[in-house]
Amino acid sequence: MKFHQIIALLILISYSSVKAAKSYSPGIINCYINHLKAKNLLGDEIQELPSVLKITDCSGLIDNVKSELVQETMVNIKKRLEINNKEQCVEDTLSKNNILDVTFVAVVYEVLQESSDKKYEKEVNDANEKLENVIEDSVTYCLFEDDFGDIFDGLFTDDKKKEEDTETDYCARKHVLDNQLLDTSVYTLKLNPNNISTDSIDCDEKIKLLIKDIEDDLVDGTKKEPVKEYECRLNAFRRDKVSDRMMATYFFGEINMTDEQKQAEKAKFIIMMGKIAFQAVECEED
């Protein structure tokens, strides 16, 4: 079974609490609403539901639900996916990625949707998509942390090989900055650190060649594999703009990042590379 199909099953099972939301007592839903509003995850327009029952210990209820939700999700994951010694990582990452709050948001909007004639349809879809991403990203990160974590760390070593082609280096920086592939409100990347003359550089051509090199590396740079498989991988990479993201990641080593920023970018890099790996395997199975 393909990875995305496994994830789909996990999501369907994890949604069991969401889909059963209409059977929850209004008092419990109100605990969720107040919990989320206290964390600025719901707007003031969302009001408590009419309820005869008032839950006096919402904090205790939330703590119990969090433990149950994470454990239920872990059981479902382990039933359908071999995660070996990564159980603790997945459990910790689900909690770190706030699966409880993401699920509560989905539950609340599902309940509101039941009596609003699709008023909250967008909010329901957005909440469910976010829940899907939390589960998929958490599992992907833990499965590939060892494989791709060291590669990311290598970007910050002193002996990282310096780009010899200064013109291509300039064009790559320009491409990254022009296309906002880095958040320049947070990170600063020098456009022309080598102070080269840029008047006669054909950056369009150099970027085409650079992207081709990156794509060749991503698909192992060989045409010996079946054409259909090669094109499958290539289309997946282009659809997800992986080459652009790889180009931006290359410059992380010279950006002044806090440890927190570095860990966040590392997690995103591992997840991106993990999904690339799964896409490669899925193309072999097609």
Q: What single DSSP character describes residue 24?
A: S
pLDDT of residue 21: 44
Nearest-angstrom CA–CA distance, 129 and 4: 14
The per-residue pLDDT for range 30-46, each reduced to its tens digit, is 999 999 999 999 998 99
Beta carbons of 13 and 76 less than 8 angstroms apart:
yes
Q: What is the mean pLDDT of residues 216-238?
A: 75
**pLDDT above 50 for 225:** yes
The per-residue pLDDT for range 188-208, each reduced to its tens digit, is 999 999 999 999 999 999 999
The first and second tokens of residue 171, run together, are 């064009």
Residue with tokens 């490669």: 280
pLDDT of residue 16: 53
1-5, 136-140, 199-203: which has the minimum mean pLDDT? 1-5
pTM: 0.83
Bigger pLDDT: 266 vs 83:
266
Residue with tokens 């009419």: 50
